């Protein structure tokens, strides 16, 4: 019985990994869609009209369930959802199940549309082609875009008007896999807009991928693993995993424990652990924070000290908060005029000396 249980656990974890991998590399696998199992995957996905991101989310749910058990899983949280969880469910419907492109155009006041139009005309700005090898192109793109995302996130916390939008993401009072999608379309448009122009300076690699016989193919494998990890970890850092990934999470890649601290209710922790992938940036710019010694990260209160959301238990209330209250909170901040756009000083961590 124990062997059978272990076998089922391994098969489930392999299935979860397969779902997340094919979803993370959906667009790349389309070029191989005429071959064997890959062809079957696309036939089934097309027949069932399953979005790639939904497959990725399903894989993440299965993996988390196997790793943390039913009692702590995000799946259990769906059965009797709290007001915060219900809000997460609304946002994931907006992100995954509705024709979000055109809805996003409207809810972002046309900002996402302008970005889509501008994307078609910025390809010529990319300097990626000036780098001689595929490996060098990939390395520069990863580091450059990671740094951009770090500063975009940090600016969202520093500028009161942008924080008024981003605080909706931080209003989650419990983390689940769906919290990764907790954002309005206007916030998403502004996030993309903040990095839109600089990101065009270095885009995806233009040199062909090294062949299997090339000595550089090992770097291609590392790149594949990194991209897959980044896609999956976006869910895991909002999950009920409490791991810090050991030295990897402290010095290389963001861990669930590190990002959970960023979501702590204490406002001082909101100005720490901004990175989405490489811990390098928080270490380099002095915004890294570790879980206090002897503290169980799962016991740290989450959310906001001045939370304007999650007041309604019903679906109708959640819809009103998503479609109206998020914009009203943003508008109330804009009414402060120039003060809404002046950076606020970061708050010190509890127990640290004031500066």
Please provide the size of the chain in residues.
Answer: 355
| CA distance to 107, 319, 322, per residue, from 59 (Å) | 29, 27, 27
| CA distance to 102, 143, 234, 287, per residue, from 140 (Å) | 33, 5, 21, 23
Q: Give me the pLDDT at residue 298, please.
A: 87
Q: Is the separation of the CB atoms in 74 and 61 below 8 Å?
A: yes
Matching residue, tokens 């959906």: 26
Q: Give me the pLDDT at residue 46, please.
A: 46
Q: Give me the pLDDT at residue 30, please.
A: 47
Q: Give the residue extent of every domain in the chain.
A: 1-70, 81-341
Q: Give me the pLDDT at residue 149, please.
A: 95
| CA distance to 17, 275, 283, 337, per residue, from 225 (Å) | 12, 19, 23, 46
Q: Is the separation of the CB atoms in 78 and 46 below 8 Å?
A: no
Q: Which two tokens stand for residue 72?
A: 């702590």
The burial of 97, by beta-carbon neighbours within 10 Å (0-12 exposed, 13-18 middle, 19 or more buried), is given as exposed
Q: Give me the pLDDT at residue 171, please.
A: 94
Q: Give me the pLDDT at residue 17, please.
A: 63
What stretches in the chain show pLDDT beneath 50? 30-49, 353-355
Q: Is the separation of the CB atoms in 12 and 69 below 8 Å?
A: no
39-66 per-position pLDDT tens digit: 444 444 443 445 666 777 778 888 888 8
331-343 per-position pLDDT tens digit: 999 999 989 998 8
Q: Give me the pLDDT at residue 41, please.
A: 47
Q: Is the separation of the CB atoms in 342 and 155 below 8 Å?
A: no
């Amino acid at each position: 019985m124990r062997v059978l249980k272990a076998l089922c656990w391994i098969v489930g974890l392999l299935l979860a990994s397969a779902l997340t991998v094919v979803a993370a590399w959906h667009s790349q696998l389309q070029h191989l869609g005429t071959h064997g199992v890959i062809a079957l995957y696309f036939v089934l996905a097309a027949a069932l009209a399953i979005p790639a991101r939904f497959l990725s989310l399903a894989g993440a749910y299965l993996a988390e369930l196997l790793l943390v058990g039913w009692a702590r899983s995000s799946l259990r949280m769906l059965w009797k959802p709290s007001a915060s969880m219900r809000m997460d469910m609304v946002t994931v419907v907006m992100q995954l199940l509705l024709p979000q492109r055109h809805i996003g155009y409207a809810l972002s006041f046309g900002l996402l549309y302008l970005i889509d139009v501008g994307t078609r005309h910025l390809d010529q700005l990319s300097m990626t082609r000036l780098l001689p090898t595929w490996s060098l192109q990939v390395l520069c793109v990863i580091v450059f875009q990671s740094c951009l995302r770090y500063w975009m996130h940090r600016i969202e916390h520093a500028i009161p008007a942008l924080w008024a939008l981003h605080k909706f993401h931080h209003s989650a009072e419990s983390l689940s896999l769906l919290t990764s999608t907790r954002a309005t379309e206007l916030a998403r448009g502004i996030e993309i807009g903040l990095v839109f122009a600089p990101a065009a300076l270095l885009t995806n690699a233009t040199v062909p991928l090294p062949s299997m016989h090339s000595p550089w193919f090992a770097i291609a494998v590392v790149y594949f693993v990194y991209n897959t990890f980044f896609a999956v970890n976006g869910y895991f850092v909002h999950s009920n995993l409490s791991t810090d990934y050991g030295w990897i999470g402290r010095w290389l890649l963001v861990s669930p424990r590190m990002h959970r601290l960023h979501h702590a209710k204490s406002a001082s922790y909101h100005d720490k652990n901004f990175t989405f992938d490489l811990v390098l940036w928080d270490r380099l710019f002095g915004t890294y924070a570790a879980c206090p010694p002897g503290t169980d990260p799962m016991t740290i209160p989450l959310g906001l000290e001045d939370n304007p959301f999650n007041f309604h238990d019903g679906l109708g209330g959640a819809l009103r908060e998503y479609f109206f209250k998020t914009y009203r909170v943003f508008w109330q901040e804009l009414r402060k005029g120039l003060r809404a756009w002046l950076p606020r000083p970061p708050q010190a961590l509890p127990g640290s000396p004031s500066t």
